[in-house]
Amino acid sequence: MTDESRSIPVLEVRDLVRHYRLPRESLFSEPGHVYALNGVTFEIQKGKSFGIVGESGCGKSTLARNVMALEDTDSGSVKILGKEVVGLSFDQLRPLRRHFQMVFQDPYGSLDPHHTVGRIVAEPLAAVGPISKEEKDSRVAEALKSVGLKPQDVSKYPHEFSGGQRQRIAIARALITHPELIVADEPVSALDVSVQAQVLNLLKDLQKEFGVTYMFISHDLAVVEYLCDEVAVMYLGEIVEKGRTEDMFNTPAHPYTRILLDAVPKPGSGQKRSRIKLKGNVTGQTERRTGCVFRDRCPMAQDVCREVKPPLTPVGEAHLAACHFSDEMIKKAQPHS
């Protein structure tokens, strides 16, 4: 591998836009739209974990589906290992699928109950090309072993396993093609807390062993803090802040990030910082707004926020925020005794 190929991000997303057309309310009315993604940009380097956080409806799962080329994109670019995937046909995507796989949220609904574990785990091998039965069986056994399951489990069915074990099966299925990228959409939210810890530790161990890169979607900040090297915070289809996890959690530079963090209990901390509170009601994704996307709920909003859209601007090393008052936010983030 050349130095140049090492520097290519595993995933590079640029100005990604996805809007859904709504049915007309009447024969003569214009159809509305859901503005799910509005120019999302980020990249993930090899072997890193990149977290996407935000409340329900912010566009996280839409982003996952577009990165995985599971639906059409209106505009923008998604490159995996430097290869553009937006606009490719099914046949063109098929050989590329081995490089990027997905783990879904529901460990019950994402596994076909009529298929054996062996068939479920082997399914992505269709993207690899023709392989012998011996090699397929060997790779299935290897994948199951890597997630802590037994090769003998190949003949069992999903209903014979617990929720945590089913998610391990889903992870084994994602790993079997030795992908460079795994997109995990809320992979532990449906599991008990003790089982969540087991699955998260497994993901970390697999990253160390195989060098896999994660795009990890979650609404749980504690999970993201544990697993991810970098974080992007989304609000109404836009990234409002992104940076290294430590920087984001210690010195949030956007009011929305700060509000999310303040909602997470921090027991045993001897230091406190002043809290800021949301105002107003949740605004939907069916309206186009001028100015800051968060202005209707932000307690710091001023006239400039309604008139001028703040760009993602550096506020530190590899730390960006889309807020006119990010400097003030960082000052507010400093704890006091």
Question: How confident is the chain (337 residues) per 10-residue block, as mean pLDDT?
Answer: 64 96 81 92 96 91 95 95 93 90 86 94 87 92 93 93 92 94 91 88 93 94 93 96 94 93 68 65 76 90 93 93 90 61
Residue 18 falls within a domain, yes or no? no
C-alpha distances (whole Å) from 196 to each of 145, 203, 205 are 19, 11, 14
140, part of any domain: no
Domain range for residue 298?
241-337
In this predicted structure, what is the pLDDT of residue 23?
Answer: 85
| Radius of gyration from C-alpha coordinates of the chain | 21
Alpha-carbon distance of 69 to 72, in angstroms, equals 7
Assess if residue 149 is contained within a domain.
Answer: no
Residue 87: inside a domain: no
Q: What is the model's pLDDT at position 4?
A: 47
pLDDT at 282: 66
Global pTM reads 0.89
What is the per-residue pLDDT for 5? 47
Q: Which residues contact 3 (CB under 8 A, 6 or more apart)?
A: none
Please indicate, yes or no, if residue 165 is contained in any of the structural domains. no
Half-sphere exposure in the Cβ direction for 196 (13 Å, CA): 17
Decide the pairing of beta strands 313-316 and 319-321: antiparallel
**Total domain count, the chain:** 1
